[in-house]
Amino acid sequence: MRRVIALAGFALTLTLSQVFSQVARAETTVAFQAKFKESLGIAASKPCDHFVCGTGTVVGFGDATTFADVTSFIPPIEGTNCGLFTADQTITLVGDGSRLLLEISGIVCFPGNTFEANMGNGDPLQGEATFTVKLGTGVFQGAKGSGINESQGAGDSAHDTFSGTLMLP
């Protein structure tokens, strides 16, 4: 009888440890909201070695820096003033250096005929894109998630807004 009780106790302990292990590994879903003011590097001194870079805030995580590099661009088709693009954007928290690498894919439009008229000179632009988390470090280690990215720019400045969800382990 003691063996049966001991085996039952062992089985219960093993089962509970597996349940608690799964609970400990459960993901937490959080809203992801971030806003950045960026420079396109048209001014006399380029602020970084990337397509754009800037500063802003990630809600709930604090101040952050960011930079982005365009990975592909299909210029506007004649008469549309809108092109397709992909980019990689890195967001780094100022407080602890945690990073999020986002893969962005979307459409960018140039009002009127500004793309053809002033190509590369700070054309006004509006972008709408989606993003997915490619990689995370620090507090973002193992993060997954996606959302929407909206951009507006003119001259040497742009504003980027991100909204979506992150799943953190």
Neighbours of 131 (CB within 10 A): 22
End-to-end CA distance of the chain: 43
User: Which residue has tokens 């970084």?
Assistant: 48
Predicted confidence band of residue 16 (pLDDT cuts 50, 70, 90): very low
Structural domain includes residue 14: no
- Give me the chain's average pLDDT, please: 83
Check residue 19 and give its pLDDT: 40
Distance CA 140, CA 137 (A): 5
Distance CA 21, CA 135 (A): 24
Distance CA 22, CA 13 (A): 14
**Mean of the pLDDT values across residues 105-113?**
86
Predicted confidence band of residue 44 (pLDDT cuts 50, 70, 90): low
Lowest mean pLDDT among 27-41, 86-100, 101-115, 155-169: 101-115
Structural domain includes residue 161: yes
What is the span of the domain harbouring residue 157?
27-168
Structural domain includes residue 2: no
What are the structure tokens assigned to 101, written together?
């690498």
70 vs 7, higher pLDDT = 70
- When computed from its CA atoms, the radius of gyration of the chain, rounded to whole angstroms, is 23
Output the domain CATH number for residue 102: 2.40.350
Pairing of strands 99-109, 125-136: antiparallel
Structural domain includes residue 7: no
Structural domain includes residue 155: yes
Query: Which pTM was predicted?
Result: 0.79
In the chain, how many domains are there? 1
Structural domain includes residue 20: no
What are the structure tokens assigned to 91, written together?
């967001």
Structural domain includes residue 164: yes
Distance CA 52, CA 155 (A): 12
Structural domain includes residue 6: no
